[in-house]
Amino acid sequence: MRAFPLHRQRKLVSGIARVLGSKQGEEATLFWRETAKSLLQRLIANGVHQAAAEDEVRALLHVVLSELETDAATARG
């Protein structure tokens, strides 16, 4: 049984985007690296193959970045 993809978990995506949107530079990079590492470890611990887990985290990052871009465009109005 496959877990619900990370990038489709709205609470997760919006939560990460909210935190990343409040950080800049190295602070944002560090937050993402720690978050990605934690998610990757959790997926692997739940039996997801490493390559598939990495794909999941990568897809999540793309969705989070897309949400950040959308939020920025909306704020510019």
CA gap 60, 40 in Å, rounded: 11
CA gap 22, 8 in Å, rounded: 22
Residue 69 has pLDDT above 70, yes or no: yes
CA gap 48, 52 in Å, rounded: 6
Task: Write down the pTM of the prediction.
Answer: 0.89
Residue 61 neighbours by CB under 8 Å, 6+ apart: 32, 36
Residue 1 has pLDDT above 80, yes or no: no
> What's the pLDDT band for 71 if we cut at 50, 70, 90?
confident
pLDDT in tens, 9-52: 999 999 999 999 999 999 999 999 999 999 999 999 999 999 99
The first and second tokens of residue 32, run together, are 């993402």
CA gap 3, 17 in Å, rounded: 21
